[in-house]
Amino acid sequence: MAAADTEYRRQQSLPLPGSSSALYNNLSVLRPPVPQPQRFSAVHGNTLSLLSAAAGTGTGLGHRQLPAPQPGPGIGAALITQAAWCVLPSRVLLVLTSQKGIQMYEADGSVLVYWHALDAPEHPPEQAVFARGISAAGEHFICVGTSSGPVLVFDIPPKGTNVTVSEVLEHHGAAVTDIAAEQGQAPDGAGDLVSADDAGSLCVWSTGEGFRLVSRVPACGCTCSSVVLWQGMVAAGFGNGQIRLYDAVSGRLRAQVNAHARWINALDLAPETGKLLSGAEDSFVHVWRLSRSLDTDDVEIHHCHTECVPDTQICGARFCDPEGDSFAVTGYDLSEIFRYSRT
Amino acid sequence: MKGPLPAKTAPPDWLLGYQATAAAVVPAVAMSVRTLPLLFLNLGGEMLYILDQRLRAQSIPGEKARKVMNDIITTMFNKKFMEELFKPQELYSKKALRTVYDRLAHASIMRLNQASMDKLYDLMTMAFKYQVLLCPRPRDILLVTFNHLDAIKDFIYDSPGIMNQVDETFRRLIDTYNCLSDGEFQLIRQTLLIFFQDMHIRVSIFLKDKVQNSNGRFVLPTSGPVPWGTEVPGLIRMFNHDGDEVKRTEFTTPGNYVTPQREGSFGLYGDRVLKLGTNMYSISRPVETHMSGSSKNLASHAKENTVPNPLAKEELNFLARLLGGLEIKNPSGSDTGFRLNLFTTDEEEEHAALTRPEELSYKVINIEATQEPGRREELSCILGQLEAEEPRPESSGKGEELLALMDAL
Kindly report, residue by residue over B270-329, the tens digit of the pLDDT. 999 999 999 998 767 766 544 333 333 233 333 333 333 344 556 666 666 666 666 655
Pick from A304, A315, A341: nearest CA to A24: A315
Each residue of A246-264: pLDDT tens digit?
A: 999 999 999 999 999 999 9
d(CA A244, CA A228): 11
What is the percent of chain B with per-residue pLDDT over 70, rounded to a whole number?
Answer: 67
- Sheet harboring A202-206: ordered strands across? A176-181, A193-197, A202-206, A212-217
Banded model confidence at residue A65, pLDDT cuts 50, 70, 90: confident
How many angstroms separate the CA atoms of B297 and A270, rounded? Answer: 45
On the question of a cis peptide bond just before residue A33, with omega within 30 degrees of 0, the verdict is yes
Q: What is the C-alpha separation between B409 and B404, in angstroms, rounded?
A: 9
Distance CA B215, CA B195 (A): 19
Q: Do A17 and B31 touch (CB under 8 A)?
A: no
DSSP string computed for A107-130: TTS-SEEEEEEPP--SSS-SS---
Comparing A231 with A60, the larger pLDDT belongs to: A231
pLDDT of residue A62: 65
CA distance A208 to chain B (A): 24
* Cis preceding-peptide flag for A124 (omega within 30 of 0): yes
Q: What is the pLDDT of residues A205-243, one digit of tens each?
A: 999 889 999 999 999 999 999 999 999 999 999 999 999
The model's pLDDT over B86-135, given as tens digits with 9 standing for 90+, comes to 988 888 777 778 888 988 998 889 999 888 998 999 999 999 999 999 99
pLDDT at B381: 35
Structural domain harbouring B110: 26-218+271-408
> Taking CB atoms and an 8 Å limit, are B6 and A177 in contact across chains?
no
The mean per-residue pLDDT over the stretch A278-287 comes to 98
The pLDDT of residue B308 is 35
pLDDT band at B401 (very low <50, low <70, confident <90, very high): very low
Least confident among A118-122, A200-204, B263-267, B342-346: A118-122
Confidence band (pLDDT; 50, 70, 90) for B362? very low
Question: What average pLDDT does the segment B64-85 reach?
Answer: 92
Residue B40 has a pLDDT of: 95
The DSSP call for residue A182 is B
Structural domain contains residue B227: no
Nearest Cα of chain A lies from the Cα of B33 at a distance, in angstroms, of 6
Nearest to B30 by CA among B92, B81, B83: B92
Pairwise pLDDT comparison (B240 vs A78), residue with the higher score = B240
State the pLDDT at residue B228: 96
Cβ–Cβ contacts within 10 Å for residue A237, how many? 32
pLDDT at residue B366, rounded to an integer: 31
At residue B369, does pLDDT exceed 50?
Answer: no
pLDDT mean across residues, chain A: 90
Output A12 or A63, whichever has higher pLDDT.
Answer: A12
CB-nearest partner of A45 from B27, B241, B313:
B27
For residue A310, the chain B residue with the least C-alpha distance is: B220
What whole-number distance in Å separates Cα of residue B218 and Cα of residue B296? 22
Q: In chain A, where are the structural domains located?
A: 19-341
| Residues of B with Cβ-Cβ distance to A163 under 8 angstroms | 6
Out of A296-310, B23-37, B354-368, pick the least confident.
B354-368
**Architecture of the domain whose range is A19-341:** 7 Propeller (2.130)
Res. B388: pLDDT tops 50: no
More confident residue, B322 or B242: B242
B332 has a pLDDT exceeding 70 = no
Which of helix, strand or coil describes residue B154?
helix
Rounded to an integer, the average pLDDT of A138-145 is 96
- What are the counts of helices (DSSP H) followed by strands (DSSP E) for chain A? 0, 28
> Which pLDDT does position B251 carry in this prediction?
96
- Section A137-165 average pLDDT: 96
Q: pLDDT confidence of B16, banded at 50, 70, 90?
A: very low
The pLDDT of residue B304: 37
- Taking contacts as CB-CB distances below 8 angstroms, the residues of chain B near A126 are 33, 88
In a domain, B17, yes or no: no
Structural domain count of chain B: 1
Determine the pLDDT at residue B327.
61
Cβ neighbours of B213 in A, within 8 Å:
311
Q: CB under 8 Å to B237, separation ≥6 — which residues?
A: A255, A256, A257, B245, B247, B248
Residue of B nearest to A81 (CA): B31
Mean pLDDT, rounded, for A195-200 = 97
